[in-house]
Amino acid sequence: MDLDDTPEQAAYRTQVRAWLAEHKSQAPILTGPGALKDEDEIVAARRAWQGKLAEAGLAGVTWPKEYGGQGLGPIEQLICNQEIGQAKVPGILDAIGVGMLGPTLIAHGTDEQKGRYLGPMLHGDEVWCQLFSEPAAGSDLAAVQARARLQDDGSWRLSGQKVWTTNAQFASYGLLLARTDADVPKHKGMTMFIVPMDAAGVTVRGLRQISGEAEFNEVFFEDVALDSDAVVGGVGNGWGTALTTLMFERVTIGLGGEGLGFNSNRFAQAIAADEHARRDPEVRHQLGEIASELLAVRFTGYRTLTALQKGQIPGPEAGLAKVTIVNGAIKAGDLITDVIGPDALDEDSEWAYMISFLPGLKSAGGTEEILRNTIGERVLGLPPEPRLDKGIPFSELRSKEGAAA
């Protein structure tokens, strides 16, 4: 057991740190004095910065070299993330594309798809979005209803609605899970597609959140035409392809929690700044409990890395880290608001955005309830709840649900 860098890792860290020191003045400023305000400007600046990071080899670290990556391991990826955080510069804009969707294309895409899409994705020239969830398909993702119908000429026509789509407002492409056969059980009749977001019939509408900002969207598809080469991973294999994306999502969350700023040191600073709070036994007790759990997650991330390094695929237990991070940060925000008072909720406060963001994050990337179900069943081996949808064609499910109600 060792938490220090090997000589090779230390050399790599030095190299990354040196590049960041030299180029950090070119990074967009997103908070504090001189921060960019206009959203279009922010997106443009962050895309350009992602391009610089990619050229320097600081994006797509684990991607194979033939697709523009560095062909390095998850440790090097973490070192990059740590150094970017340390340098206090933004990371890549398209973390969803580079972290989850690109690796899915690498695993399941055709050579043509990889050749066409991966380079522009990595460099921020084309941003991607993930079109999986729907108003009636979240925890039960395999219930998607967006319908793609095969045409006589081999092309497809897509209709339906997606929701909670981060970055859709400026994305060039989306990876979309659609139903292509409703006459088979629901996990079998889905297909993954690449959808150009500028295609006729695609409408993006921002969804404002508690903070007042619209970071994600609902996306409507009205008879959108897709070529036959838009299919990823084969017709009818959409569920398997989606599981690959979700596995990469777990890795991203497992290694990136602290990148969201939910770490014990930052919360402790807020308490330490108040002479009375830092000595108050109740405040200290709460801070101690929250901080212990958030510290634990940092080392759970290192355990995940160790497993990845040994070629093991991280299991669903990484979801427990997400539960800990979100609930810990919620408690921390609450405690800090108790300490600071209403000023913590002021729009200019460091904390208001986090406090508004967290209730939604509790459901993002799997609700706490569905994560606990999955972990209870897959890790502890507890029996599943009885299901009403097993082996039943998707087209007949609605009537079954009605009868059961």
Partner 1 sequence: MNLALSDEQVFLREAARGALSRLQTIEAAREALDGNAPLPDLWPTAMQAGWPGLLIDEEHGGAGLDAFDAMLVLGECGRVLAGVPLLGHLPASAILNDSPNAAGFLPEVSSGERRAAYLPAQPPSDVSDRWSTDPASGLERGALPTAGAPDEDGRVPINGSFAFVPDAPGASGMVGVALQDGRPVGIAVLNDSRGVEVKPVSRYDATRSLGHVSFTDSPAVLLDASEESLAAAWYLAQALIAAESLGSVETALDVSVAYAKERHTFGRAIGSYQAVKHSLTEVLRQLENGRSLLYYAGWSRNGKPEEFPLAASAARSVAGRALDQAARTMISVHGGIGATWEHDAPLYFRRAQLSRRLLGGTAGATDRVAGELIAQASAA
Three-state DSSP state, 231 = strand
Per the annotation, the verdict on 249 as an active-site residue is yes
| Span near partner 1 by CB under 8 A; candidates 185-193, 289-297, 339-347, 349-357 | 289-297
Look at the alpha carbons of 250, 253, 254, 255 in this order and tell me if their dihedral is positive or negative: positive
Does the protein bind partner 1 through residue 303 (CB under 8 A)? yes
| Span near partner 1 by CB under 8 A; candidates 10-18, 122-130, 209-217, 261-269 | 261-269
Which CB sits closer to partner 1, 43 or 271? 271
Q: How far is the CB of 400 from partner 1 (least distance, A)?
A: 19
Three-state DSSP state, 66 = helix
Does the protein bind partner 1 through residue 148 (CB under 8 A)? no
Residues from 7 through 36 that contact partner 1 (CB under 8 A): 9
Nearest-angstrom CA–CA distance, 315 and 334: 31
Structural contact between residues 319 and 254, judged by C-beta atoms closer than 8 angstroms: no
**N-term to C-term CA, the chain:** 54
Structural contact between residues 171 and 128, judged by C-beta atoms closer than 8 angstroms: yes
Q: Which residues contact 104 (CB under 8 A, 6 or more apart)?
A: 175, 192, 232, 241, 244, 245, 248
| Span near partner 1 by CB under 8 A; candidates 49-57, 61-69, 296-304, 395-403 | 296-304
Which CB sits closer to partner 1, 3 or 313? 3
| Span near partner 1 by CB under 8 A; candidates 131-139, 143-151, 250-258, 272-280 | 272-280
Position among 88, 149, 285, 400 found at the interface with partner 1 (CB under 8 A): 285
295-324 burial, b at 16+ Cβ within 10 Å, e below that, comes to: eebeebbeebbebbeeeeebebbbbbbbbb
What residues does 129 pair with on adjacent strands? 174
Does the protein bind partner 1 through residue 381 (CB under 8 A)? yes
Q: How far is the CB of 9 from partner 1 (least distance, A)?
A: 7
Q: Are strands 128-131 and 173-179 parallel, antiparallel or unpaired?
A: parallel
Catalytic residue among 83, 218, 249, 317: 249
Does the protein bind partner 1 through residue 293 (CB under 8 A)? yes
Catalytic residues, which ones?
249
Kindly list the residues in this chain that would bind partner 1 in the complex (CB under 8 A): 1-5, 9, 75, 78, 264-265, 268-269, 271-273, 278-279, 281, 283-285, 287-289, 291-293, 295-300, 302-303, 305-306, 309-310, 317, 320, 323-324, 369, 372-373, 375-377, 379-386
